[in-house]
Structure 1
Amino acid sequence: MKKILFVIITVLSFTITTAQGCSDAGICSINNGFVPNEKEQKNTIEIGTVFGAGEADVTYISPYISYSRKLNERFSWSSRVTFSSADGSFGTRAAFGDAFLIGNYTFVAKNNTQWSALAGWKIPFTSANLKINGYSLPLDYQSSLGTFDLFLGTNLNYKNWNFNAAVQIPVFNNNKNSYFSAFSGTNDFPSTNLFERKSDALLRATYSIKTSNKKFIFKPNILFIYHLGEDTFENTFGKRETIIGSDGLTVNGNLITAYAINNTNSIELSLASPFVIRDSRPDGLTRSFVLGLQYQHSF
């Protein structure tokens, strides 16, 4: 128990003292697609919501619903639909965000080691050009980036450790954002007219700690997300312009606490915040902290 309390205090201390901002275009949200379904039940439904604080004074409430299906001992798939409400000085804008569909293949376990691989898609519900009273909004207020993205990843399970790596590649860009900072009356958000975003690569390490009665599981983890290039937008002259400093590394710390109500129901609380951020984050995905609450039912 002392070990568990030490981990919790350490992670929370980092969270409080280093809250600056993070970036996640969906690649952090597919973690369940990595993990093999070890439950006897074949179906799992998850309902949850995420609370977060972003750039300037923007706050977020982002509920979602997920469904996972175990087809056999090797194959499974998971899906998720997201919704987002952003509130700030521009006003409040809410809309459906993205749909995720992830397939997973689990290899035969050997010597306490098990590999799995995944592939999937993110499909946007908007073209990232939602407006309030006819005024264009920065990407911080958009519920989606408007891109169709491909996910490819692999996962290694070794005893209490879990490591996964993945890439998120925008394959088709339907972003029609029309926000210009110069016409907005504020410098809080960069111009993102017809925004084009580069790919992301992720590496995550997770350690699981179970209590003796196996009711609680604590999963501190750290994520390294590298943005593989500088994003661009189209300026007022119709020329594509690079956003300097929008590439580079983000490091996020996260603590997940799960409680098993019984064999088929559980709840999960997660708290995340960044340690390292990119110089420029025009995609509007910056968060000083993220608090998530989730209910899971298997059948």
Structure 2
Amino acid sequence: MKRYSILLAFMVLQGGVVFSQGCSDAGICSLNSYPQENNTFKNVISVSPGYAVGDADVTYITGALSYTRIVNPRWTLNGRVTYSQAEGSFGTRGQFGDAFATASYTFSNKEQSSWAVNFGAKFPFTQSNLKINGFSLPMDYQASLGTFDALAGVNYMYGSVSLYASVQYPVVNINKNSYIAEFSGTDDFTTTNLFERKPDALLKGEYNYSIGRFYVRPSALFIYHLGEDSYEDIFGNRQEINGSEGLTVNGVVSLFYNPDNKNSIELLAATPFVVRKERPDGLTRGLVLTISYNYKF
């Protein structure tokens, strides 16, 4: 008997791995799907607080609240809202980051394998120009990238192995960041005045191992930033940021525990093994730790 339905999962490791500004992830890791052994319940609410460490001793307290609706064995809908608070030498600043609206469609679902397509959009709550005492903050302190993004991907699962490929494309840029490194008194961060960001492509491989009610899911995420980001200098000229194009590789380990059919807890740890030379977007997490509570009804 086929007992699988698709649950569109949002882990705080944007993101990933879901974070507002996650482990070298702009939100693309949020677009993902996992099989569920029990399809009795059609609704899932998830609360996901987290802690992360970035460059220049910046630390983060993050959170996400998501709702998933399993419409039928083929269609799954999800909505998620994120929050991020950054603390460092500039001070402390927190803000709601982004809202995600996504859908998953399973067009091939066999006992040992399944294919699914995922698509959705990201909507920013901020123009990425949060300030402290009137001073502009670099993107590392911002809760959102300040872009409306389109997301699309395909997921293939065979037994305990899952492969996932996706793209994230900024459609509308409302980023009004005004941070200029020359005026900041530090060279820890790159100038991001009126920042413009290029798309991302992701390839993810994951293995799912179960021991009773425990599930262990190690995974590797390869994220390629498709072009050089840019900013506007003090003379009004747009400048490309050399080294901002390139590959980031993240390692992720998730531990799931299902005490019963309605409740589940996830512990997640992630860190990058390969990073781009320049990450002006602020996606500089060196370590991400999250815990998620999921309630099905």
TM-score normalised by structure 2 residue count: 0.91
The residue number in structure 2 matching 1:77 is 77
Distance 2:28 2:75 in 1: 21
Change (3 A) 1:182 1:203: same
* Local SS of the residue matching 2:56: coil
Q: Deviations over 1:80-118 (max 9, x none)?
A: 100110000000000100000111101232362200001
C-alpha contact (below 8 Å) 1:62/1:82 kept by paired residues: yes
Change (3 A) 1:22 1:75: closer
The residue number in structure 1 matching 2:105 is 105
The letter for the 1-side match of 2:183 is: F
The letter for the 1-side match of 2:24 is: S
The residue number in structure 2 matching 1:184 is 184
C-alpha contact (below 8 Å) 2:177/2:194 kept by paired residues: yes
Within 5 A, what are the aligned runs for 1:148-163? Answer: 148-163=148-163
Instruction: Give the CA RMSD over aligned residues.
Output: 1.2
1:287 is the counterpart of 2:285: yes
* Local SS of the residue matching 2:30: helix
The residue number in structure 1 matching 2:215 is 217
C-alpha contact (below 8 Å) 2:24/2:284 kept by paired residues: yes
C-alpha contact (below 8 Å) 2:49/2:292 kept by paired residues: yes
C-alpha contact (below 8 Å) 1:36/1:116 kept by paired residues: no
Identity of aligned residues (%): 55
The residue number in structure 1 matching 2:9 is none
* Local SS of the residue matching 2:187: coil
* Local SS of the residue matching 2:140: helix
Distance 1:40 1:232 in 2: 49
Distance 2:84 2:31 in 1: 17
The residue number in structure 1 matching 2:16 is none
Give the CA deviation at 1:50. 1.7
Within 5 A, what are the aligned runs for 1:24-35? Answer: 24-31=25-32, 34-35=33-34
The residue number in structure 2 matching 1:61 is 61
* Number of equivalenced pairs: 275
C-alpha contact (below 8 Å) 2:31/2:153 kept by paired residues: no
* Local SS of the residue matching 1:270: strand
Give the CA deviation at 1:161. 0.5
Q: Which is richer in strand? A: 2
Give the CA deviation at 1:22. 4.8
Within 5 A, what are the aligned runs for 1:7-46? Answer: 22-31=23-32, 34-38=33-37, 39-46=39-46
C-alpha contact (below 8 Å) 1:233/1:241 kept by paired residues: yes
C-alpha contact (below 8 Å) 1:35/1:155 kept by paired residues: no
C-alpha contact (below 8 Å) 1:138/1:192 kept by paired residues: yes
Distance 2:111 2:242 in 1: 47
Q: Deviations over 1:198-233 (max 9, x none)?
A: 00000001101101xx21000000000000000000
Within 5 A, what are the aligned runs for 1:128-143? Answer: 128-143=128-143
The letter for the 1-side match of 2:248 is: T
Distance 2:106 2:46 in 1: 21
Q: Deviations over 1:21-45 (max 9, x none)?
A: 95111112333xx225553200000
Q: Which is richer in helix? A: 1
C-alpha contact (below 8 Å) 1:36/1:106 kept by paired residues: no
The letter for the 2-side match of 1:237 is: F
Distance 1:194 1:40 in 2: 48
C-alpha contact (below 8 Å) 1:22/1:277 kept by paired residues: no
Q: Deviations over 1:248-276 (max 9, x none)?
A: 00000000000001111010000000110
Within 5 A, what are the aligned runs for 1:81-100? Answer: 81-100=81-100
TM-score normalised by structure 1 residue count: 0.90
1:276 is the counterpart of 2:274: yes
The letter for the 1-side match of 2:229 is: D
Give the CA deviation at 1:153. 0.3
Q: Which has the larger displacement, 156-165 or 34-43?
A: 34-43
Distance 2:93 2:128 in 1: 12
Distance 1:235 1:126 in 2: 22
The unaligned stretches of length 5 or more in structure 1 are 1-20
Instruction: Name which structure has the greater RCO, CA cutoff 8 Å, separation 6+.
Output: 1
The letter for the 2-side match of 1:202 is: L
* Local SS of the residue matching 1:182: helix
